[in-house]
Amino acid sequence: MMYSGLSPVDAKDIVNTFSESGLLVKYTASGVAVTAAVTDAPFAVTIDESSRDAAGSLEAAGTGTVSLVGLSGVQYIRCMAITGIKSGLKLYTSQTSDTDGYVDDDSSNSAVLVGVYMGEDGIDIATGDLVPVLCATIQ
């Protein structure tokens, strides 16, 4: 079977423990990590939390895995709070001081463009909500 780019990939070399789906991730020489700096360039988004051990605890970095899909088409990504969001609003990696792995509409400090919002107009987004993002080309 041919790899489609939208098929989930099981990342076995993770730097972080991922507690939720919809987090942006980046490549590092040590393994897949959540985006933490505004200038981090994401390549994928988590579609679930990290794997769990027999006791049901999230497995730690180095032993756990996480399922990812590439930043292509429309993906649901965690977002910082935005009031009255509009379709087409550009979304960027969240600021370094904000929640890791999220998108935001703040482009300051050379934030990396992730894509544009493709959901319902005029609604308020709470921090942590999953929002539909039409992903931009990987930079």
Q: Is 107 contained in some domain?
A: yes
End-to-end CA distance of the chain: give it in Å, rounded: 28
User: Is residue 65, in this structure, part of any structural domain at all?
Assistant: no
What total of structural domains would you count in the chain?
Answer: 1
DSSP state string for 65-129 = -EEEEES-SEEEEEB--EEEE-TT-EEEEPPTTS-TT-EES--TTTPPEEEEE-S-TTEEEPTT-
> Hey, what amino acid is at 124?
D
Structure tokens given for 46: 């988590």
Copy the structure tokens of residue 31.
């393994």
pTM of the model: 0.90
Does 48 fall in a domain?
no
- Tokens 């292509």: give the residue: 72
Helix/strand/coil for 51: coil
Determine, yes or no, domain membership for 27: no
pLDDT by 10s per residue, the chain, length 139:
344 457 788 888 899 889 999 999 999 999 999 999 999 999 999 999 999 989 999 887 788 899 999 999 999 999 999 999 999 999 999 999 999 999 999 999 999 999 999 999 999 999 999 999 999 977 6
Give me the domain span that covers residue 97: 74-135
Beta bridge partners of 34: 25
SS3 20: coil
